[in-house]
Each structure stands twice: as structure tokens, then as C-alpha cells.
Structure 1
Amino acid sequence: MTIELVLLCIVSFFAGFIDSIVGGGGLLQTPAMLIILPQYPVATLFGTTKIPSIAGTSFAAFSYSRHVKIKVKLLLFIILAAFTGSILGAWCISIINSTYIKPFILILLTATGIYTYSKKNFGLHQEKNHTGLRQILLGLTFGFIIGFYDGLIGPGTGTFLILAFISFLGFDFLHSSASAKYVNVATNLAAIIYFAGTGHILYQYAIPMAIFNLSGSFLGTRLALLKGNRFIKIFFLVVVFGTILRFGWDVFRPYF
């Protein structure tokens, strides 16, 4: 076992832990892949990270399903939209420069962090007076957009999904995190189908990383179910802050 694989497996464990609670595991995995395996094309590294991501996220989704009630019909529509968006995003990665998207993401994340911290009831259940059709239309919209982002860039997808479920549908943090896992499984699967079909997955790294990601997901899911909304909200803020630093570095690094 090479030192590169050991390092990637360690990172994948912590990525699975973070991802199972509030998403954002890609903030660890993606930069680690780019730094540790710089000799490979970016698309290949992105494709490889999807295997461990789907392993941990699938386990988290299964674990949440045993304890948290899910709105299955609504979720199916969102999953379909996210799956479609992710395939399109994976295709667009070769023709769109993600550098132009990152400043917008940085602004959005900063606003999210401030809003979440200042609103003490954010992430508690809030009844939204939406009709069933309106819920579906909102879900289709944010599902497609976030799915497209996941296929195109990836890091922070789970965090954005949780934010969308809370803001648009009134879910609490626990139900948002659980629902986000199912959608994230769909976006990862869509990206895997595309990247595998174009030969952009390094299975010798992806499979061991998947085992460690799943292990981290097991620990993270147990903690989230045990501690509940308050714990998830605090963890959410920590991950959002880390995401802001990450994208801030990407945006402003060329000026230094």
C-alpha cells in the first residue's frame, strides 16, 4: 500500500464523517486528490472521489431511513431532477471554467453562515403553507440546480441541499440532513455513470477510499441521530465556515 493511498484513505474517513452529518466531505476529499495525485487529469480525480462519496452517503441514507420519516413522493421528484442535473454538470466540466462560479458560491456561503447564526430558529421545523404541487416545483428547481453543481464542481453539495430543504420546504436539520443524503446518492450515481463511461475513475484508489468513507459515515450518522438538531446546526456552521475559507482561498489566491 502506497503512502498516497494511506493518506487518501485517512482523508476519506473524515470526509465520510463530515458528509454523513451536514455534507461537505468533498471539501476534504477533492483538494486531497488534487494535491496527492497531481499527475492525473482533474476530471479523473473528480470521478474517482464519487465512488467513496456514494459509499458513505448510501450508508448514511440507509441509517437515517430507519429513524427519520421521509417524504418519499416529494423526494423522488427531487432525486430525478438532481440526477439529471448532475449528469449535465459532469458533461459541462470540460467546457465551463469553474473559476467563474466560485466567487458567487463564496458570497452565497457567507450569507448562509451569517443567516444561520443570527436566526436562532433556523433549522427547527417551520410549517410552510405550500401546496403539494408547489413543494414539487420547488424541489425540482433546487434539485436540478444543486445536482448540476455537484456534477460540475462537487464540494459542499450536501450542505447546499440541507440549506435548500430548510429554506424552501421548512424541514428541520435532522430531516433535511436525512433527505439530502438520498438526493446526494442520486447525484453521485449520475456522475459515476458519466465518469465511468469515459474512463475517468481510478478504481485502485476509489475502492479502498470507499471503505474508509463508509466507516466515517457510520460514526457520523450515529452521532447525528444521538445528538439531534442542535448538534447538527453547530456542525453545519463549522462546515459552512470551512467552506467559506476554502472558496475564499480559491478566489483570492491569484491576487497574492
Structure 2
Amino acid sequence: MGKKIFLFFSILIIIFLFSCERLQDATEGTLIFIVKDSVTEEPIIGAQIKITQNGQLKVTASTDENGQYKFIGNEGEYNYEVSKLNYLPKTGSTKVYANEERKINILLDKAENNPPTFLNYVSPVDNEIVKEKDVIFRWSANDIEKDTIFYNIYLKYVGNEFFKLNSSPITQNTYTYEPEIKGQYQWKIELWDEPNIDHKIMVLEAPRFYYDPTYDSTINHKPTISLIYPINTIIDKSLVTLSWEASDIDKDH
């Protein structure tokens, strides 16, 4: 009897796990990237495809002998970048729909001068905790023709919009900035060289880091207070209602 009960529950568990797997698969869809030369329309073999979601890298892959790459992912919105030596890169966004297969046709234009290539973020990287007052952003890139690379750096407090930190393009691959408040931030880089100034490349990857300096008291700002009533007035009442406004940039209580 005990063996029969054990077998019965084992079968139920297997059925449950199988159902969960089928349910998970039901949320997936397929994107087929088809990369071709914009003039000859010949397939481009070995084009690099980077797919990100919310700034997080999901996959880096290359097109096959037919200039294609098949991506299977959960339902949602994704960004992609397609690049190949001697071509101008292309970026875009698309959606994955559950149980759907969609084709994404990409035509790459030949480049008279190769644009710079972003290699990687050095610091801060995903989930890094920054304890210093100043955040030192570092990244790596190269240019096959040895042209000077220009950069813009963008930052956002998670939940807000990106804003540009530098007032003019920078040429070094490091930048120092002191955020106003503690919390989680996300950053990304835009790069180009002089021959490709009209083809600036916004890097889709955007690492998230935690800004939590511990030793500088100026990081936590004092609240600001504005008096509303009474101000510079003569009061002839026995009871006075005082009013004011206060705010705190650190969102403290």
C-alpha cells in the first residue's frame, strides 16, 4: 500500500513539473535576425549581435552562413545591436511575443572608416557597491584605424531618465562624478570618432550599481525649511497658526 501511495505522489510531482515547464515555454517566442549587405543584399556571415533588456546583456552571438541568428527569449521588449568589421553598426528595439516567430531584417551599410568598438565596462559593474564619495567611471574601447575616440557618459537614478554628465565630449576613458543622493544608479557610454561623427554609437548595456558612501557627512544633506506664516508681520491675535514647508533631497523622514 505504501509503495502505491509513493508511486501515486511521484506521478503527481512529475505531472506538476512538466506542467510548469510547459507553462514557462508558453511565455517564450522567437526572433530570427537576418543580416544582409544594404547594396548587394548578400547575407553577412559572422555579424555580431548583442541583445539586451533594460540595459542588461542577454546574449552575444554571431550570424551563421546564411547571415541569420535565432534568438529564443521570454515575452517582452528587447534592444539589439548588429555590427561587423567594415560596416556601420545598427541598433534597434523589438518585441518577443509568446509562441510567435518573427523575422528581423537588418541591412548594414559599408563603412569608409571603421567606427570605434566598445569593449567593456571596467567599473562600476553590475551590482557593485561604491563606498567612496566620488564615483570613478571606467570603460574600454578601441579604434582599428587608431582614430581618437570621443565619449559621452550618461547616468540615471533607477526609475528616472538618463542624463548626460559631461558638458563637452571627452577623450579619456574615465570620468569622475559625485552623485547627489545615495541609491541605485545605471550608466552607459556613447562613442564615436571624427570620421563617423554622424554615426554615434550608444552602448546598449547599462550596468547598475549601488552608491552608498559611508565616511563623508556631506553626502546626507540637511533638510531645507521655508517659512510661510508669519513672516515680517505684526500679530494682534492671541492664537497664531504657524506654517512652513520642508523638503529633504535624500528623502529622509
TM-score, with length taken from structure 1? 0.25
Larger Rg: 2
Using CA pairs below 8 Å that are at least 6 residues apart, which structure has the higher relative contact order? 1
The normalised TM-score by structure 2 is 0.25
Structure having the larger proportion of residues in helix: 1
* Structure with the higher fraction of residues in strand conformation: 2
